[in-house]
Structure 1
Amino acid sequence: MLKSYLKNVYEIASRGDATEVSYYSTLENLFKVYSETINKTDVYITSLPKKTEAGNPDFRIWDGKQHIVGYIEAKSPEVDNLDSIEDSEQLERYRRTFPNLILTNFFEFRLYRNGTLIDKVLIGRPFIVHKLKTVPPVEKKADFLKLLERFFSFSLPRVYDAETLAIELAKRTRFLKDEIVTQKLKEEESIGKGFISGFYEAFRKYLISGLSKEEFANLYSQTVTYGLFAARTRSENGFNRKLAYDNIPHTIGLLRDVFKFISLGDLPQQMEWVIDDISEVLAVTDVKNILHQYFHEGKGKDPIVHFYETFLAEYDPQTREKRGVYYTPE
């Protein structure tokens, strides 16, 4: 498996005109072959076809339905030192947001769990490809297989309390706002049209006429996350992004319009990945226990509204304090 992989990497590098994306199919095949050796036939490896300003990791490993194994961020094989990449602002954002992440230059693989480096393996020497112009021998095969085993065995822990859920949703919502919605608005502004721009105009027309683009990115991202939470509280048999629309109350027209696109529309991959990630957090959440927690604290009249304040305290505490909204047990 690794011998063939390194041979393919060498052959691509030998062409002389290879870019980072040129190696994607080889990396995809490596992970696919490994998943088959451990009898995980329901593994899908999808990659973003091109670099955009909207910043997601390059690969997502998932089961094609709901469960997300993790993400991979790839850098060019010409990058022979991943230390500088590890400390970059981009990687820090990914490490804060995605709990199971691999960073690689196609030779070295670094595995991060909840932002912390827990394993790294160098399977071949880059200089042998770039300087000696030959296929490097395989190194540390057993260690690499252990790293992959740790990566593929990951699953989100079940969430039982409102505070933990608020933390997990807040960091993903910030990523959605800063890296996806804000950047998509900029991209669409340059071409004069787009689905996010359409929602921006709708929010200005029907909600807040003087809404700035920065305020919209914030409001839209919160709307997506909180709409998913509201839908999850009404979902009985499983939950994912595509099921959300069926569980949005018919009385909230604009929210249903947003989720008609999110659940049923053709989402850009960058947005799809993050919203799927938020949905999986909610799927493994014991919503009944959280609602019971609010009832126990005397907040049972509208626990969904009360959770919003818990979420806002984590996501944007300045706004929460400015509004002066604090709930205490009755």
Structure 2
Amino acid sequence: MNVDSLYSRTAKPHLAISVLAQAYGLKDKAGWSLATARKQVQADRNPQSKIHSILYRPFDVRFIFYHEAVIERPRPEVMRHILAGENVGLVLPRRVEHTGPWQHVFVTNALVEHVAVSLKTIDYCFPLYLSPSTTAPDMFQQTKRPNLAEWLLPKLTAAYGFTPTPEQMLAYIYAVLSSPPYRARYVEELRIDFPRIPFTADPNIFCRMAALGQELIELHLLRKKVRVAGVRYQGQGSDTIERVRYEAATGRVWINNDKYFENITPEMWEYQIGGYQVLEKYLKDRKGRALTDPIRYIHIAEAIAQTIAYQVQLNNLYVAVEMAVIVP
């Protein structure tokens, strides 16, 4: 759906309120009415500027009409940092309810839906940079600054002999959170509170972890395209997703009786981020609709294949992190 189409569905100036309410299942409630909301939207001089990308589920980026008249909890105190300019942030929950392995972290450069990663509990967004407030300048900083504890960079600079960039810090943290040994060792703590990050005392290990973490960030934002698994979209006929099924013997993911993706390994198909089996969830959320972006699905599958390979490298590298850590 393009931006103009989304706006036209939101405003609908030619439709009666009753028709609009029935078409989209909208009901008035305390503090909100459809009639008032539509008037506010129609009075906005530039409503198209309120349409933004939003991370709906891992790798599943959609559009949202981010207007205070129609969003119940827009959380501008956090999301304004994402909207202010180029930025990136970690997405993770404070706690998880399932009993399996912890895998509840992703990265975003867009707005975030509240269960984008965690299936049952609320996710939090941690932007790398904090931007000045335009509505309360006396209460917030006046220049863009890294969202890091003030003591952290001086401590690492003294230990490493150089000052890590904010981007290196984020990449290192993402590598730690993506490391299977870290997830296994602290699984009980990760279920009940935010992660605690061990910082290696070895500058070489820090740089190697940050380099892997940056590769993961590029992959997960789909800014880096890889071809490691040879995933292809095959078959003739309709692109409508009717029934999603996976054949481990052939490595095929069928979307109907005629079309399929091939070279999907069981590890790729079963790979989970948070509460979602990524490759299955992406297709099932589009059931009954035409798959208009098979190339994107290929990029997602390839990114997962490369992520699995990087996590194998992190198995050994993370062990070196905890051999000597910096004490706050």
TM-score of the superposed pair, with normalisation by structure 1: 0.25
* Higher helix proportion (structure 1 or 2): 1
* Higher strand proportion (structure 1 or 2): 2
